[in-house]
Amino acid sequence: MSALRLAFVAARTQAAQAAHAALRERYGECSAEQAQVIVALGGDGMMLHTLHRHGALGKPFYGMKLGTVGFLLNRFDDAGLVERIERANATELVPLQMRAQSESGGSVTALAFNEVSLLRQTRQTAHLRVHVNGKVRLEELVCDGALVATPAGSTAYNLSAHGPILPLGSQVLALTPLAPFRPRRWRGAILRADSQVVFEVLDPDKRPVSATADAHEVRHVVEVTVRDAHEHAATVLFDPDHNLEERIQNEQFA
């Protein structure tokens, strides 16, 4: 039984479940509430799920890759886990908070460690008015959608949409359009981390839009507000040879 109290959260894949059983046998296990460190087993999606599920506990998270994508995870090894955790470097991930208002009049609030994205729901392009800190910056953005990404999430959907890679700790956000048609030459903006972005959906009946915070989707939105949520920051642990800041830097030269 390990002196370090660990809680394991595993994906449903055979590999992750087998690893969970082996680690539980070797190190013991307690609940997330009683643990000193929460260990996620799977891919990046599993790590994001774990951050959302247990982030309010204020515990550090350590992930091991047993999935297809492992940007937020360390390599898997069932030996020396406690020593690895004790040597690990801590990185603070600050999520975004999305507040989405729907056509029905309801309002949904959710966190996103990677990005908040808006996407058209039909073949019709989305028409969005973009406000930044109370000022209209784009009167009408005609596009497939748009997103706001954190530095940690800038190498995910944002990079695929040709958005900028943001260094970790840079205190900025990426505002990136998805297939913009008008203004044709607009490729997005880099904003201060304390900025508030409001997307106003124009003609939502004819051109419906959904909003997603990581994996939490809200359909038929009419307005979406995005801000940083430093009060919900999470600590993620990385092995010294798996430095997240260095990996993000390397993506700029790939």
Query: Mind listing the pLDDT tens digit for each residue in 112-164?
Result: 999 999 999 999 999 999 999 999 999 999 999 999 999 999 999 999 999 99
Are 178 and 107 in the same domain?
Answer: yes
pLDDT at 1 over 60: no
Token digits of residue 203: 């003609």
Residues 101 and 205 in one domain: yes
The answer to whether residues 224 and 237 belong to one domain is: no
Is residue 210 assigned to a domain? yes
Angle at 59 (CA atoms; ends 55, 63), nearest 5 degrees: 80
Provide the annotated active-site residues. 44
0.85 exceeded by the pTM?
Answer: yes
Do 204 and 126 lie in a common domain? yes
Q: Are residues 213 and 165 part of one domain?
A: yes
- Structural domain span for residue 53: 6-94+233-251
Contact predicate 228/97, CB 8 Å: yes
> Helices (H) and strands (E) in the chain — how many of each?
5, 17
- Give the number of C-alpha atoms closer than 13 A to the C-alpha of residue 110, restricted to the C-beta side: 23
Could you report the per-residue pLDDT of 3-51, keeping only the tens digit for each?
Answer: 899 999 999 999 999 999 999 999 999 999 999 999 999 999 999 999 9
Q: What is the pLDDT of residue 223?
A: 98
* Domain of residue 56, CATH code: 3.40.50.10330
